[in-house]
Amino acid sequence: MNYRLLYFASLCDAAGCAGETISSNAPDARALYAELAARHGFAFTPDRLRVAVNGAFTGWDTRLADNDEVVFLPPVSGG
């Protein structure tokens, strides 16, 4: 399946891009993050991140569908 990833803040720096489309067999966000963390050297463990799929917060075990927009959100620092 193809997933559209967006990266923000230090994850953007680590990935070296603001987003990418990847082909993956990961069935859920947890598996997808493990794959991306290995590829890009993301330092965050999943317990420090939140997940959003297609613009809405969701859980790590939500099954992903082809062409989903998936975002792993590092701890926020607005204000």
Partner 1 sequence: MEPPWRCGVRLVWQPLRKQRDSRGMASTGPSVFAISDRPIDVTRLRSELESHAAGAAVCFEGRVRDHNDGRAVHGLSYQAYVELAEAEGARIVAEAHDRYAVERIVCVHRIGELALGDVAVWAGVSAGHRGAAFDACRYVIDEVKARVPIWKREHYVEGASEWLHPGA
Beta bridge partners of 51: 58, 72
Q: Is 59 in the site for partner 1 (CB under 8 A)?
A: no
Q: How many residues bind partner 1 (CB under 8 A)?
A: 24
Q: Is 65 in the site for partner 1 (CB under 8 A)?
A: no
Which residue in the set 2, 27, 57, 65 belongs to the binding site for partner 1 (CB under 8 A)? Answer: 57
The residue whose two tokens read 């493990």 is 34
For partner 1, what does the binding mask look like between residues 2 and 21, x meaning CB under 8 A?
A: ----x-xxx-xx---xxxx-
Token reading at 13: 């720096």
Nearest Cα to Cα of residue 39 among 54, 66, 20: 20
